[in-house]
C-alpha cells in the first residue's frame, strides 16, 4: 500500500484523527503479503456491504430476513475481490516503478556529477590551451605590426606590407576565436569573472563604433549614432564592451553595400537599452533560434558568403545575461534586424552631445 502521509492532498480531505488511523492501517496492510491484504480488504468490504444493506432493509421493510445478510455479503465479496485484487496489483506495480525511478534518479545524479567534472576538466584544458595558443599569437600579432608599420625602417617591397597586414588580421581573428570559446565555456561552467562597476554606456558605444569604422567603410555602410543620452550602467566594462562589439559587428557583417546601421539608446527607470537596427539580410524566427546557438550558423553550405564560427550572438547573449541584462532580436528576411541589449541602470541619465551620422561608403546617404 502507498504511504498516505506522502500524499500532499490528504490533509485537505480528512481530519487529523482519521488521517492518523488511515496511516496506521495503511502501514499494517503494507506489511502483509498481497493475498492476505486482499483477503482482509475483501472481508472488510463484504462486512460493510452487509451492514449497509441490512440497515437499509430494516428501514424500508421493518424486518430483516436471514438470507439478506448472507446474500449482500456474498455479493460484496464477489464484486470486491477482483477490484481489490486489481488495485493491489496496481499498487505493487507502482511501488516497483517507484523503486525503478529512485534508481534512475540516483544514476542521473551520478551522470550529472560526472558531466560537471568533465566540464571542469574541459574548462581547465581550454584555459591551458588558450594560454599556449595566445602566447605565440601575441608574438605573431606584435611582430606583424612592426613589419606592417615599418617601425624599424622601410621595407623594399611594398607587397610585404600587405602580407604583414594579412598576418596581423588573421592572428587577431584567431585570437578572438580562442577568447570567445574560452569565455563561453567559462559562462557555461559558472566560472566567468565578473567585476561590476558604473560604466558610461554612451562612451562605450562610441568606442565600439570607432573600432568598427574601417569594417563599415569597407562594407560601404552608413553608421548612425543616435545615442544622445549618457547612461551609467552596472556592468563589467570589458564584458559589456564585448557584447556591444559583437552585436555591432554582426550588424555590419550581415548588411548590404550601401545599407545603414543605426544605434539608439533609451533609458527606463531601472534599465538602459541599446537598440541596433540594420538594413541587412534579416532572419526568420527559426533562423533567430539557430543564430543564438553556439557554433551554429544559418548558412551552413561550404560556399557560404559569410564567415565566422557562429559565436558572436550566442556569446553576446550569454555575457549580457551574466551581467543581469537581456538580449532580444526581431528580424524580417530582406528587411533587416533589430537587436535590443538591456543593462541594469546605475544612475539617472544625463544629456549628451547631439546625435551624429557617419557616412562610411560611396552609397551613404
Please write the tens of the pLDDT for every residue from 54-71. 777 677 666 667 666 666
Q: Specify the pLDDT at position 136.
A: 83
What is the number of other CB atoms lying within 10 angstroms of the CB of residue 259? 22
The domain boundary, picked from 168, 192, 216, lies at 192
Q: Which residues are paired to 271 by β-bridges?
A: 344
Say which CATH number the domain at 319 has: 3.30.565.10
Pull the grid cell for residue 181. Answer: 570559446
H-run or E-run covering 288: helix 285-291
pLDDT at 59: 72
Task: Say if residue 224 is in the same domain as residue 256.
Answer: yes
The span from the CA of 122 to the CA of 7, in Å, is 43
Q: What are phi and psi of 15, to 5 degrees?
A: -80, 170
Residue 63 lies in a domain: yes
State percent of the chain over pLDDT 70: 64
Contact 204, 263 (CB under 8 A): no
Q: Are residues 37 and 82 in the same domain?
A: yes
State how many domains the chain has.
Answer: 2
Percent of the chain surpassing pLDDT 90: 18
Task: Report phi then psi at 67, rounded to 5.
Answer: -70, -20
CB 202 within 8 A of CB 353: no
Q: What is the largest CA-CA distance in the chain?
A: 128
pTM for the model stands at: 0.56
Give pLDDT tens digits for 130-159.
Answer: 667 778 888 888 888 888 888 888 887 778
Residues 203 and 181 in one domain: no
pLDDT at position 278, please? 93
Same domain, 257 and 182: no
Tell me whether residue 6 is in a domain. Answer: no
Per-residue confidence (pLDDT) for residue 230, from 0 to 100 = 81
Looking at residues 187-215, what average pLDDT do you find? 85
Q: Is the pLDDT of residue 43 over 80?
A: no
Question: Could you tell me the residue range of the domain that residue 53 belongs to?
Answer: 32-192
Indicate whether 202 and 120 sit together in one domain: no
Residue 9 lies in a domain: no
128 and 208 belong to one structural domain: no
- Does the pLDDT of residue 2 top 50, yes or no? no
242-295 per-position pLDDT tens digit: 999 999 998 998 888 889 999 999 988 889 999 999 998 889 998 898 888 876
Domain boundary among 192, 213, 242: 192
Domain boundary among 192, 213, 248: 192
Same domain, 57 and 114: yes
The SS3 call for residue 122 is helix
Strands (E), the chain: 197-200, 222-225, 229-230, 232-235, 260-267, 271-278, 326-332, 336-344, 350-351, 356-359
Q: What is the DSSP string of 208-219?
A: HHHHTHHHHHHT
Q: What pLDDT is attached to residue 4?
A: 37
Is it the case that residue 12 has pLDDT exceeding 50? no
Q: What is the pLDDT of residue 161?
A: 85
Amino acid at each position: 500500500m502507498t504511504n498516505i502521509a506522502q500524499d500532499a492532498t490528504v490533509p485537505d480531505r480528512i481530519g487529523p484523527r482519521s488521517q492518523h488511523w488511515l496511516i496506521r492501517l495503511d502501514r499494517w496492510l503494507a506489511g502483509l503479503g498481497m493475498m492476505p491484504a486482499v483477503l482482509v480488504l475483501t472481508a472488510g468490504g463484504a462486512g460493510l456491504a452487509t451492514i449497509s444493506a441490512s440497515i437499509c432493509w430494516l428501514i424500508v421493510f421493518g424486518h430483516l430476513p436471514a438470507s439478506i445478510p448472507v446474500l449482500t455479503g456474498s455479493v460484496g465479496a464477489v464484486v470486491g475481490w477482483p477490484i481489490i485484487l486489481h488495485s493491489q496489483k496496481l499498487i505493487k506495480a507502482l511501488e516497483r516503478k517507484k523503486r525503478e525511478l529512485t534508481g534512475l534518479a540516483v544514476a542521473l545524479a551520478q551522470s550529472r556529477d560526472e558531466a560537471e567534472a568533465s566540464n571542469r576538466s574541459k574548462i581547465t584544458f581550454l584555459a591551458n590551451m588558450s594560454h599556449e595558443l595566445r602566447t605565440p599569437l601575441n608574438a605573431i600579432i606584435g611582430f606583424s605590426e612592426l613589419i606592417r608599420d615599418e617601425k624599424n625602417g622601410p621595407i623594399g617591397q611594398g607587397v610585404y606590407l600587405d602580407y604583414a597586414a594579412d598576418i596581423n588580421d588573421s592572428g587577431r581573428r584567431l585570437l578572438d576565436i580562442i577568447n570567445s570559446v574560452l569565455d563561453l565555456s567559462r559562462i557555461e561552467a559558472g566560472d566567468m569573472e565578473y567585476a561590476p562597476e558604473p560604466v558610461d554606456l554612451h562612451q562605450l558605444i562610441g568606442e565600439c563604433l570607432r573600432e568598427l569604422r574601417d569594417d563599415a567603410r569597407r562594407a560601404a555602410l552608413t553608421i548612425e549614432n543616435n545615442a544622445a543620452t549618457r547612461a551609467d550602467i552596472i556592468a563589467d566594462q570589458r564584458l559589456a564592451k564585448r557584447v556591444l562589439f559583437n552585436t555591432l559587428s554582426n550588424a555590419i557583417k550581415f548588411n548590404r553595400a550601401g545599407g545603414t546601421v543605426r544605434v539608439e539608446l533609451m533609458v527606463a527607470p531601472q534599465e538602459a537599452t541599446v537598440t541596433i537596427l540594420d538594413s541587412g539580410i534579416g532572419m526568420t524566427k527559426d533562423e533567430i533560434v539557430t543564430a543564438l546557438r553556439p557554433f551554429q550558423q544559418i548558412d551552413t553550405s561550404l560556399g557560404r558568403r559569410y564567415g565566422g564560427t557562429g559565436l558572436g550572438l550566442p556569446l553576446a547573449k550569454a555575457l549580457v545575461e551574466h551581467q543581469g541584462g537581456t538580449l532580444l532580436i526581431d528580424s524580417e528576411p530582406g528587411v533587416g534586424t533589430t537587436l535590443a541589449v538591456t543593462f541594469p541602470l546605475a544612475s539617472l541619465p544625463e544629456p549628451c552631445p547631439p546625435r551624429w551620422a557617419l557616412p562610411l561608403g560611396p552609397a551613404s546617404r
